[in-house]
């Protein structure tokens, strides 16, 4: 393919994407295919000769779109948002076009330097403590990671490094390996699955402590756990505080947890993956009070800040521990400016890295502070509107509501809500996922798409109430309930097994 053909193909792809968004409401949010649908639609191996781009483009409609769950449909209310915006898409294109790999400064200075400045843009936009900024004096700074999972893991590894160094320097009579075997991390039972994964990967005991009735990890519970571990000779090392938990968007109290961590020389990492974007609006910053006691802070612009995946922002107060945990310098990685600008390869798990800061630059400049705040406030307002609709219907209860997430259920037995949830997803008009909170099965309803309007909320509510009618008026409800429970049980059994679509 030469550049002339690329111009044609690329522009046709731009139109494909624009058309896709212009007509996104015409499609069911969930696809109507079964596992294994795709293999028969494509060749079984790489074709011998090259094909024309026109044929490839046609297959987007034939093969791909029928199997897409439309994350940017206004009817997508599952998980949390994954960001998408036009300027971010163009930023991604530019990054792919230049195709640089910026593992150190010389590998492409603009890639490192724009990232240094963009992390400061974001830090200031959220009004983070100055020690986190790259432009500050001192050893703190920000870096783009691929995901909150990586940020949590990196915090854990840096915390480990810090404790080991402190104890080794303090004439501890333990070996490095003995120290590492005694380290403990803490988070709440509401933290994201990636927290548990970080413990598995980084070989650190991870205690998922019980949260209170609002889904928060309290200082009392944390202190008790720390004291208990200390008595058993273990070494408290790392606390992951969550601002905006995955199930219900609950907020840990950073002032309470931070005080305990600072007194006990424990590294506090803040996981604000979704909710961090709300701190672009001053009225929500009270939720991160105490953030100055954190050693690291992470949120995902690729969730709620309109910057396409992947773009996870991590700040640390002292980058030394990252660099020392990761530095495996080789001669082919050295250059004459080594040590002058940050070589971000030592701030992350992989060696390679893309020019992701272009996406931030394009998106922030296109929207401006005002456009960003309008987006965040608009989503929260839509969630409030949905909440008001639920509250007006006495068959339902709102269990929690926080930022863009409303959790609700049908009064009565959990199975009723579970049945409603299944019906919603089977009907494919709106997409939600459930969670269990304090033994109640609830449906999470999240505003995710930048396209969502009041009429989309009305559409969703109409769908929910009309399927609720079916349940409430169903003559064979008990039978359905039973078969449903059986189905769920069998579903749990296959969980975790390795099976493949063949």
Residue 267 zone, left/alpha/beta (φ > 0; ψ -120 to 50; rest): beta
Measured from the CB atom, is 309 or 386 closer to its own copies?
A: 309
Nearest approach, Cβ of residue 360 and its own copies (Å): 9
Name the H helices within 308-404. Answer: 320-326, 357-391
Q: What is the DSSP letter of 76?
A: B
Beta bridge mates, 142: 315
Measured from the CB atom, is 9 or 385 closer to its own copies?
A: 9
Tell me the pairing of strands 205-209 and 183-188: parallel
Query: According to CB under 8 A, which residues from 180 to 209 bind its own copies?
Result: 180-181, 192-194, 196-197, 200-203
Nearest approach, Cβ of residue 281 and its own copies (Å): 13
278 phi, psi to nearest 5 deg: -65, -25
Nearest approach, Cβ of residue 426 and its own copies (Å): 9
Measured from the CB atom, is 260 or 367 closer to its own copies?
A: 367
Q: Binding its own copies by CB under 8 A: which of 117, 167, 281, 485?
A: 117
Q: Binding its own copies by CB under 8 A: which of 6, 227, 289, 413?
A: 6
With contacts defined by CB under 8 A, name the span among 281-289, 388-396, 469-477, 494-502 that binds its own copies. 494-502
CA 53 – CA 57 distance, rounded (Å): 6
Nearest approach, Cβ of residue 479 and its own copies (Å): 19
Nearest approach, Cβ of residue 153 and its own copies (Å): 7
Interface mask (CB under 8 A) for its own copies, residues 380-419, using x and -? ----------------------------------------
Nearest approach, Cβ of residue 290 and its own copies (Å): 24
The answer to whether 448 and 76 have CB atoms below 8 angstroms apart is yes
Nearest approach, Cβ of residue 316 and its own copies (Å): 10
What is the size of the binding site for its own copies (CB under 8 A)? 172
Query: According to CB under 8 A, which residues from 444 to 483 bind its own copies?
Result: 444
The two three-digit tokens of residue 104, written as one number? 């150190």
CA 243 – CA 420 distance, rounded (Å): 29
Beta-strand ranges (E) seen in 195-308 are 205-209, 235-242, 267-271, 296-299
Sign of the Cα pseudo-torsion (378, 381, 387, 389, in order): negative
Interface mask (CB under 8 A) for its own copies, residues 42-81, using x and -? x-xxxxxxxx-x-xx---x--xxxxxxxxxx------x--
Q: Does the footprint of its own copies cover residue 99 (CB under 8 A)?
A: yes
Nearest approach, Cβ of residue 382 and its own copies (Å): 20
The answer to whether 72 and 84 have CB atoms below 8 angstroms apart is yes
Q: Binding its own copies by CB under 8 A: which of 25, 27, 28, 37?
A: 37
Secondary structure (3-state) at 8? helix
The residue count of the chain comes to 502
- Closest Cα partner for 459 from 389, 399, 369, 372? 389
Q: Binding its own copies by CB under 8 A: which of 174, 435, 477, 485?
A: 435
Interface mask (CB under 8 A) for its own copies, residues 118-157, using x and -? --xxx-xx--------xx---x-x----xxxxx--x---x
The answer to whether 312 and 151 have CB atoms below 8 angstroms apart is yes
Q: Binding its own copies by CB under 8 A: which of 75, 187, 211, 246?
A: 246
CA 86 – CA 92 distance, rounded (Å): 10
- Closest Cα partner for 155 from 272, 250, 251? 272
With contacts defined by CB under 8 A, name the span among 116-124, 226-234, 390-398, 458-466 that binds its own copies. 116-124
Q: Binding its own copies by CB under 8 A: which of 74, 75, 84, 274?
A: 84
């Amino acid at each position: 393919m030469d550049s002339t053909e690329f111009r044609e193909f690329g522009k046709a792809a731009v139109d494909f994407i624009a058309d896709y968004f212009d007509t996104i409401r015409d499609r069911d949010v969930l696809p109507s295919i079964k596992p294994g649908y795709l293999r028969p639609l494509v060749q079984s191996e790489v074709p011998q000769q090259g094909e024309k781009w026109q044929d490839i483009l046609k297959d987007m409609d034939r093969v791909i779109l029928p199997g897409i769950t439309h994350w940017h449909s206004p009817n997508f209310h599952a998980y949390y948002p994954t960001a998408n915006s036009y300027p971010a898409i163009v930023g991604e294109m530019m990054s792919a076009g230049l195709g640089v790999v910026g593992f150190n400064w010389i590998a492409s200075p603009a890639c490192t330097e724009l990232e240094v400045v963009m992390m400061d843009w974001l830090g200031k936009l959220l009004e983070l403590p100055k020690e986190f900024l790259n432009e500050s004096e001192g050893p703190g700074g920000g870096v783009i990671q691929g995901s909150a999972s990586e940020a949590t893991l990196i915090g854990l590894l840096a915390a480990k490094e810090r404790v080991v160094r402190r104890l080794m320097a303090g004439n501890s009579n333990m070996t490095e390996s003995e120290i590492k075997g005694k380290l403990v991390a803490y988070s709440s039972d509401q933290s994201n699955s990636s927290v548990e994964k970080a413990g598995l990967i980084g070989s650190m005991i991870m205690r998922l402590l019980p949260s209170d009735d609002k889904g928060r990890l309290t200082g009392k519970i944390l202190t008790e756990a720390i004291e208990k571990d200390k008595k058993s000779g273990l070494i408290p090392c790392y606390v992951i505080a969550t601002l905006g938990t995955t199930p219900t968007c609950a907020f840990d109290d950073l002032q309470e947890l931070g005080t305990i961590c600072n007194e006990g020389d424990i590294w506090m990492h803040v996981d604000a993956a979704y909710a961090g974007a709300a701190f672009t609006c001053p009225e929500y910053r009270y939720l991160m009070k105490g953030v100055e006691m954190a050693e690291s802070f992470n949120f995902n612009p690729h969730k709620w800040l309109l910057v396409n995946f992947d773009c996870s922002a991590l700040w640390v107060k002292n980058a030394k521990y990252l660099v020392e945990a990761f530095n495996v310098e080789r001669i082919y990685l050295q250059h004459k400016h080594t040590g002058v600008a940050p070589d971000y390869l030592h701030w992350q798990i992989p060696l390679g890295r893309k020019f992701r800061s272009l996406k931030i630059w394009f998106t922030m400049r296109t929207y401006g502070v005002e456009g960003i705040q309008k987006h965040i406030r608009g989503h929260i307002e839509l969630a409030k509107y949905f909440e008001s609709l639920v509250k007006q219907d006495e068959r339902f209860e709102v269990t929690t509501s926080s930022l863009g997430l409303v959790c609700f259920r049908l009064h009565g037995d959990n199975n009723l809500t579970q049945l409603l949830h299944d019906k919603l997803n089977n009907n494919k008009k709106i997409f939600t996922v459930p969670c269990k909170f304090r033994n109640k099965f609830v449906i999470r309803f999240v505003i995710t798409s930048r396209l969502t309007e009041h009429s989309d909320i009305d559409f969703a509510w109409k769908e929910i109430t009309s399927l609720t009618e079916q349940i409430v008026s169903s003559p064979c409800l008990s039978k359905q309930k039973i078969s449903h429970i059986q189905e769920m049980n069998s579903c749990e059994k296959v969980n975790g097994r390795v099976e493949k679509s063949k």
